[in-house]
Each structure stands twice: as C-alpha cells, then as structure tokens.
C-alpha cells in the first residue's frame, strides 16, 4: 500500500505529515523502509516511556485480557488507583475527572469555571496570547492564536487574551464578569516559553483576591516532563511562598498515558462539588485500559528514577545547545527538563525539522520559529549526545 497516497484519498488533510513510521523501541523509530531514526520528539510530549516499553506492553495486554471497557456506569479498580495517585501528587486533596484527550480535559476545567460564575453572571476567562488549549470549540476560543479560530466564527463567547508573563495585562483585562485565568505553565505549541515565578505567584494572589479561579493547562508541560510532577513545582522550587502554590483546577493528558490516549482534570476540593451527577461525562474516560496505562507509567517513572533522569538529560541538552546560539540563525534556547525549545530568528522551523529527519533525528516544530526537544523521560545520556551531534550537524 502507498500510505501517503491513501491518506490523500481517504483521510482529512488537516496535518502536514512526513515519515511513514512502522515500529519503535525506546527512543528509536523505524520507517516503512527499515530506516532508523532517533525520536526525541516523543510523539509531541506523549511517549514518556519511549516506544514499546515492556512494562507498558505487559500492563496493557494483561488488562485487555481481563476487561477493556465498561462505561461510566461502573466502578473500575485501575482508575481508582490512578486517581488516588494523582490526587496524592496534588497534595492529597481535590478530585479527578478522567477524559480521553487534552482538549477534553480543558473542556472540563472550563466548565468548572463557568459553573462557578454562573449564579453571579461571571463567565469571562482570561487566557494568554500564543497559548494553545486544543481544537474543540472551547479549546479554540481559549487559544490565544487567531489562526486556530479562522473560519470557525462565531467563537464561544467570554474569552479574552492578554500577553503571557504579564501580570499587569491580566489586571487591566479584568471586568466584573471575569471568573478565571487560564495559563500553561510552559507554553508548548507557542514556542516553549516558561512562566516566571513572579507571574505564577502574582496570578495566584490576584485570582484569590478577586474570587476567581486559576486554571492550569498542564497537558504538555505536566506529568514529570520538567523534572517535577507539575512545571510550576519546578519553577517555584526554592522560591519564597512557592510551596503553597496550587491552582484551582488543572488539565492533563499526553504523558499521563504514555501513548495510550487519555486525559484527566484535577479540581480542588473547593470547586469539585460544583460538578455533581449529570453535570459532565464521557463514555470512555477512566476506562480499565486507560487506568492500567496511567498506573504503569507512574510505576516505571518511580521504579526507574526517571524524574532525576529527565532533569539531568535536560541539563545535558541545554549545555549542548547553548553554544549554538548566534550560529545558524539560532537566537535562544529555553525550557528545562524534557521540554527544551531552540528558537530561530526566522520562520525556518518546518524546514529544519525536515532536514533533521533526513539526518535521522525526529523533532517537533512549535509554530514557525521554534523546534522542540520532547524526549521520553527514560532517554539515555548517549541518546541525547547523539541527538545533539545530529542537530548541530544539520543546522
């Protein structure tokens, strides 16, 4: 079969695709012709254990042999165990709602904010320019990028976008109708831009003072990718007042399932009671197979010390990439842990990604000027060295 030709005929042309990938193992993938590539793009920050991890295979096949799907009418032990662990990471409070994707996780936390403001007529939600929150109608309305909205107007009302990392801009955008602020801890699709500690603490203080919710989209930057459970935990490490920081609701997906399509929303104890029976649901969310995937991801992260590993690999990447600043149109290198962006002065990210693939390295563009390293959390030092070698050779 000619796969690209069949895509042209039978699949909506909504993405620019290149390689026909046939198989993977760890941080390596092979195309249909058997050519090997080093995959440090991680399926856009999803494959946190790499490809074909033996523990993942075992957990999925064992669970599939017992029970794949039950629907939300029934209890499921794997989901209960996973929810307990996620609540534990959030300090032992709050509640989880399981979903099937990042966009759906955002739908949930946005609905929580709408519900919180409903009685008082507050529905506006401030988000950041350059953000990305998914492709559903609420997702594109929340996303601070005009190109995602074009052709789908009218947008879901009530979203206001202001510059990222700019607390004064949020204050200036407040109206009596504002109910929430929603940000990514590190803007991913927007180009790997981390929130500053002052911005995070300032937003928390402001939203508390005004009776508003602080919503976190942690779909890409969460789940240990930065070397902490959440990126804000890493950003606020050692910062005075940082230990008490917690948003009111948070969305997850990507690394949560290590490649199994699943997401989740965490909602604080203050707001969780708003979402009672009938308020929200999904047929697949929190199914037994998804629960098994989420649990095995955490088991391996904990057993194999992957938090320490991804911190060290992030440092290794930064050390290797920084000397390239000022060469080949590279103007900045930013991010930390397993979320590093290389910023070019002009719109060449797409071309460079193509050239890197030709050289045997799979990476992901973020917009037109930034290339992202989003490696598996178990990537080795030797693989990072090899990636740096191919990268600097190709650019």
Interacting residues toward ligand PLP by CB under 6 A: 44, 101-103, 106, 132-134, 184, 188-189, 217, 219-220, 253
User: Do 136 and 104 contact (CB within 8 A), yes or no?
Assistant: yes
Q: Which residue has the CB atom at the shortest distance from ligand PLP?
A: 102
- CB-nearer residue toward ligand PLP: 82 or 394: 82
Contact 159, 142 (CB under 8 A): yes
The answer to whether 173 touches 158, Cβ cutoff 8 Å, is no
Cβ proximity of 138 and 110 under 8 Å: yes
- State the minimum distance, in angstroms, from the CB of residue 350 to ligand PLP: 17
Which two tokens mark 296?
């095995």
DSSP run (H or E) holding 161: strand 159-162
Question: 337: burial class by Cβ within 10 Å (0-12, 13-18, 19+)?
Answer: buried
Please, what is the minimum distance in Å from the beta carbon of residue 325 to ligand PLP? 25
Q: How far is the CB of 359 from ligand PLP (least distance, A)?
A: 25
CA distance 143 to 220: 14
Tell me how far apart the alpha carbons of residues 5 and 21 are, in angstroms, rounded to a whole number: 15
Neighbours of 385 (CB within 10 A): 12
Query: Where would I find the H helices in 181-250?
Result: 197-209, 231-235
Q: Give 216 or 391: the residue with its C-beta nearer to ligand PLP.
A: 216
Contacts of 154 (CB under 8 A, 6+ apart): none
Going by the DSSP 8-state scheme, the letter that residue 346 receives in this structure is S
C-beta atoms surrounding 208 within 10 Å? 12
Q: Which is nearer to ligand PLP, 102 or 259 (CB)?
A: 102
Question: Cα–Cα distance between 358 and 31 in angstroms, integer?
Answer: 12
**Six token digits for residue 60:** 């999925």
Kindly tell me which of 186 and 361 has the beta carbon lying closer to ligand PLP: 186
230-237 — which CB contacts under 8 Å span 24+ positions? Answer: 230/89, 230/185, 231/185, 231/186, 231/194, 231/195, 231/339, 232/185, 232/195, 232/200, 234/336, 234/337, 235/185, 235/194, 235/195, 235/196, 235/197, 235/200, 236/197, 236/200, 236/201
For ligand PLP, give the closer residue by CB, 102 or 285.
102
Q: How far is the CB of 261 from ligand PLP (least distance, A)?
A: 8
* Dihedral pair phi/psi, residue 90, rounded to 5°: -90, 20
Q: How far is the CB of 381 from ligand PLP (least distance, A)?
A: 27
- Cβ closer to ligand PLP: 155 or 174? 155
**SS3 state at 283:** coil
Strands (DSSP E) contained in 222-298 are: 249-252, 263-267
For the CB of residue 176, give the shortest distance to ligand PLP in the complex, in Å: 28
């Amino acid at each position: 079969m000619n796969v690209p030709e069949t895509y042209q005929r039978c699949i909506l042309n909504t993405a620019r695709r290149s390689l026909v990938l046939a198989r993977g193992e760890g941080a390596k993938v092979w195309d249909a012709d058997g050519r090997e590539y080093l995959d440090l793009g991680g399926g856009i920050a999803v494959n946190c254990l790499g490809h074909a991890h033996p523990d993942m295979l075992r957990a999925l096949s064992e669970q599939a042999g017992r029970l794949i799907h039950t629907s939300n009418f029934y209890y499921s032990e794997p989901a209960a165990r996973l929810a307990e662990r996620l609540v534990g990471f959030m300090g032992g409070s709050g509640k989880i709602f399981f979903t099937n994707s990042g966009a759906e996780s955002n739908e949930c936390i946005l609905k929580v904010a709408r519900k919180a403001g409903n009685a008082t007529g507050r529905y506006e939600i401030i988000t950041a320019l350059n953000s990305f929150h998914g492709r559903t109608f609420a997702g594109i309305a929340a996303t601070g990028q005009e190109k995602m909205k074009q052709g789908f107007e009218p947008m879901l009302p009530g979203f206001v976008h202001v510059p990222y990392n700019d607390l004064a801009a949020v204050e200036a955008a407040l109206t009596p109708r504002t109910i929430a602020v929603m940000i990514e801890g590190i803007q991913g699709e927007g180009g790997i831009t981390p929130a500053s500690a002052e911005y995070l603490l300032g937003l928390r203080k402001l939203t508390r003072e005004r009776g508003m919710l602080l919503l976190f989209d942690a779909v890409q930057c969460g789940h240990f990718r930065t070397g902490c459970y959440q990126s804000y935990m890493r950003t606020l490490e050692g910062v005075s007042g940082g230990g008490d920081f917690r948003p009111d609701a948070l969305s997850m997906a990507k690394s949560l399932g290590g490649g199994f399509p699943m997401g989740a929303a965490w909602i604080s104890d203050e707001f969780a009671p708003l979402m009672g029976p009938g308020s929200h649901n999904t047929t697949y969310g929190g199914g037994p197979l998804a629960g098994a995937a989420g649990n095995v991801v955490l088991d391996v992260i904990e057993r194999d010390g992957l938090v320490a590993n991804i911190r060290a690999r992030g440092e290794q990447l930064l050390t290797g990439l920084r000397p390239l600043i000022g060469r080949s149109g590279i103007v900045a290198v930013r991010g930390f842990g397993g979320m590093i962006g290389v910023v070019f002065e002009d719109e060449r990210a797409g071309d460079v990604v193509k050239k890197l693939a030709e050289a045997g390295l799979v990476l992901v563009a973020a917009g037109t000027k930034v290339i992202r390293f989003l490696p598996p959390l178990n990537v080795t030092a030797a693989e990072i060295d090899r990636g740096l070698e191919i990268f600097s050779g190709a650019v």
